[in-house]
Structure 1
């Protein structure tokens, strides 16, 4: 295995571990319930509309992530996760990527962006980025540095964020700017 493949596999393992909220070695719908409860506390889900938005986002993200469940047993193992994302990365590198795959990935990116845009203003502000990074165990200094690398302003625009998320999944270049996304997909 070459260095770039090793790097990409490590990235995908890290991403897998972020979604495996109960740390049982697989991703299941129960993991999304755990993450949603924690995220609700992070953004102060006092009002019903926000709770409903996050419930819908959680459901959508869960459906997209569970596509990796190759044997349809209700859980995604690390092996299934890596295989799924290897196929996805190869497909994304083609000039004629399947429209169905692009649609699925677009849904995943939209959901992820809207979960990071805590105040729903169409941007990810530095404080939103830092709060979310800290939620996933990233220290404040690292979160602030990554945000500075991703955005020249105090906010990250939706189109740029989605492009970076897209590149994160397909890039095996350890120096690619998308690696600052810290695995929010």
Structure 2
């Protein structure tokens, strides 16, 4: 496959950008991650101090990883910076022997994302966790349930498969690939 540049891939990366641009100001900033972490912590209940702390830590890690796309170091990631960063990332992921540091950075991002979706920290994403999180991001409940059925076995999406889907979502531009049937939260 040639370098990532097709319209489908650009569209899905734009959708992902808009998931992170929580305040809808046209850029991703650390403030977006504070808002996101606060909102996500409400999925498991505000009275759960440990989970609020987990989300605060996850927010910081996710923010650090995503802010790597801030090419001009002005404290915000524009859509163009986001697309350029992820285009380079996808191209690198397709090479044999992906640069170890880049792979480690993406792995941290994927691990953090998985842990945020695994609401009860039992090592897999259950159907209700998936649907609840999708609804949080504005996905219709029936559509979320249908995509879960497509990507999971039974009522669980195991960690290894979820992480593989996340990697594939970034690197592949095939609209028929299973990783593209769901909203990814990377």
The CA deviation string for residues 110-145 of structure 1, in whole angstroms up to 9 with x for no partner, is 000000000000010000000000000000010001
Tell me the equivalent position of 2:146: 145
- Where do 5+ consecutive residues of structure 1 fail to align? none
Note the residue ranges of structure 2 that are not aligned, 5 or more in a row.
none
Report the secondary structure of 1:144's partner residue: helix
Tell me the TM-score normalised to structure 2 length: 0.96
The superposition leaves residues 128-164 of structure 1 with CA deviations (integer Å, 9 ceiling, x where unpaired) of 0000000000000100010000012110000100000
Does the 8 A contact of 2:27 with 2:76 survive in 1?
yes
> Within 2, Cα distance between the matches of 1:49 and 1:132?
19
TM-score (norm 1): 0.96
State the 1:36 CA deviation.
0.9
Deviation of 1:104 after TM superposition, in Å, equals 0.3
Distance in 2 of aligned mates of 1:145 and 1:48: 33
Counterpart-to-counterpart distance in 2, 1:180 and 1:161: 13
Whether contact under 8 Å (2:44, 2:51) holds in the other structure is no
Measured in 1, the distance between the counterparts of 2:76 and 2:124 equals 33
Residues in 1 aligned to 2:51 and 2:140: alpha-carbon distance in whole angstroms: 27
- 1:44 corresponding residue in structure 2: 45
CA contact (8 A) 1:11 1:183 kept: no
Is residue 66–residue 75 contact of structure 1 (8 Å, CA) maintained in 2?
yes
The equivalent of 1:171 in structure 2 is 172
CA distance in 1, matches of 2:46, 2:95: 41
Report matched runs for 1:21-40 at 5 Å. 21-40=22-41
Deviation at 1:43, TM superposition (A): 1.5
Q: What is the RMSD computed on CA atoms of the aligned residues?
A: 0.9
Contact 1:113–1:161 (Cα < 8 Å) also in 2: yes
* Matched residue, 2:75: 74
How far is the alpha carbon of 1:42 from its aligned partner? 1.6
Q: Is the 8 A contact 1:168 1:181 kept in 2?
A: no
2:159 aligned with 1:158: yes
